[in-house]
Amino acid sequence: MELDPVPETSEQQWNLDLPAVSCHSAIFTLVDNQLMLLLVERNEGPFRFQWELPGTALTTAEDLSATAMRASTPPLAPLPLAVNNPRQLGAYGGPARDPRHRSIAVIYWGVTHHTNINTGPSGPQLVPMSEWTSDGFRFAFDHQQIADDALIALKESLNSTSLATRLCASAFTISELQRVYEVVFNTEIAAGNFHRKVQSTPGFTTAVGNQNQEPKRRGRPAQRFEATNIVDVSPPFHFESSQER
């Protein structure tokens, strides 16, 4: 069994057979109590004027994750996108996914606070979930399936890890954290129990000194916390979306 992935054919055939590989990213964030996904509207080629996950061809000698993250940064953006924990969703390579040629897309997904995302009129846009899960929305290629899979991966990670802290600002309250879950799962959570669960999970948050210079609101002022390394929640949450799609 020869496992050299380069087939022994002529150079011309080699060209035709070799698939193109691209890396894409599915970046989620929260804006205004809505879950947003970073998407790009295609302006040429097949699926023109339809939306896709930001991606780029795999050409330079870097990790797949680095290529994917680079793709979600607009060309002239001053700072790279701060998604510090991209996770691989998988490779999508159905033989008919690109009408031009065989194509493999490797997808990474991640979350970040919306202030870390640079959007511009000609680059990636934040699209609310209510839009891209509606029937009229048009994804390019198989990116509808990919976005659905990424959303499932996001929910699984929120249930089993402290990833939700990365969707909050650098300092946040427990109820702001709770809002993350409520938005993503479209559900209501009993505040008292949520508070205990987070506080009783070691490493979920770190208390921050009482720099409580918030615009004063009603009610008892909340403690503020910071995100730390992502830890497992054990036993996990088991939130479920109430009515999806």
Radius of gyration of the chain (CA): 20
* Of positions 168, 174, 180, 184, contacts DNA by CB under 7 A: 174
Q: 110-129 mask for its own copies (x: CB under 8 A)?
A: ------------xxx-----
- E strand or H helix at 198, and its extent? helix 191-200
Q: Select from 218, 242, 243, 245 the one that contacts DNA (CB under 7 A).
A: 218
For position 45 contacting its own copies by CB under 8 A, the verdict is yes
Q: Which residues contact 109 (CB under 8 A, 6 or more apart)?
A: 25, 26, 27, 28, 86, 87, 89, 150, 153, 154
Find residue 41's DSSP bridge partners.
Answer: 51
Closer residue to its own copies, CB minimum distance, 93 or 128: 93
b/e map 127-166, b = 16+ CB within 10 Å:
bebeebbeeeeebbbbbbebbebbbebbbebbbebbbbbb
Residues numbered 182 to 241 that lie near its own copies (CB under 8 A) are: 235, 238
Binding site for DNA (CB under 7 A): 173-175, 190-193, 195-197, 199-200, 216-223, 235, 238
Binding site for its own copies (CB under 8 A): 1-7, 11, 14-15, 17-22, 40, 42, 44-45, 52, 54-59, 61-64, 75, 88, 90-91, 93-95, 98, 100-106, 122-124, 235, 238
